[in-house]
Amino acid sequence: MCAKLNIGIGDEVLPKYINVSKSEKKSTEVKHDYDITPWPWESSFFEEIRIVGVLEKVKNFVQVMEEIHRIGKPGCIVKIRVPYFHSSSGSSDPLNLRRFTFASFDYLTKERNQDPEREGFGYDYTDKFFEIKQIRSEPTKIGRFIPNWKYPARFFARNKFIGNRDAISHFIGELNETLYFELKIVKEG
């Protein structure tokens, strides 16, 4: 059996997943406050974790990411959807405590934490690491009219996942609504 976890669910209860919501109004198998750790699963249990509409609302982002790391098997794929920092959908929800950029999960990678050029700059938030496999912007209705070509010579971004619309959206709001991240849990040994 492939153990899959669907956290936050939005409006989707997925078959073949353990569906979890903090809200008593949602019809899920498990109700859990994401800020309370440890979560009610054993370590290295899940092969896939899907998170929608949660990480922007948690009080301690790093602690929650460490808990995701704990319950995921080595190589577990973590699929995350979060509001883009420059969108009204991210700022209009009064429960949102943070919004995200293309670089938000860089701080949870081994490369970022062990970069000798950054030594002493306090990027040692955690020793639980993820590998970024994919980042994709999800445009607004207006943003859909602007192509998001990826090109080899990136003037703006050091991130290989960023395209035209993504670079422009840092300066002009309402082009991207959400970001989709796909991470892989990295565990030593």
Name which residue leads in pLDDT, 7 or 114.
Answer: 7
- Give tens-digit pLDDT for 70-107: 999 999 999 999 998 888 777 788 888 888 988 889 88
Q: How far apart are CA 101 and CA 115, in angstroms?
A: 20
Q: How far apart are CA 126 and CA 134, in angstroms?
A: 21
User: Given this model, what pLDDT does residue 73 score?
Assistant: 96
126-133 average pLDDT score: 90
* Strand ranges inside the chain, DSSP E: 4-7, 18-21, 30-31, 46-52, 72-83, 129-139, 176-186
User: Given this model, what pLDDT does residue 189 score?
Assistant: 64
- Give tens-digit pLDDT for 108-121: 888 766 666 655 55
6-14 average pLDDT score: 79
Stretch among 136-140, 149-153, 168-172 having the lowest mean pLDDT: 149-153
177: pLDDT strictly greater than 50? yes
- 156 — pLDDT class (breaks 50, 70, 90): very low
Secondary structure (3-state) at 5: strand
User: Given this model, what pLDDT does residue 46 score?
Assistant: 96
19: pLDDT strictly greater than 90? no
- Cα–Cα nearest to 49, from 33, 30, 26, 73: 73
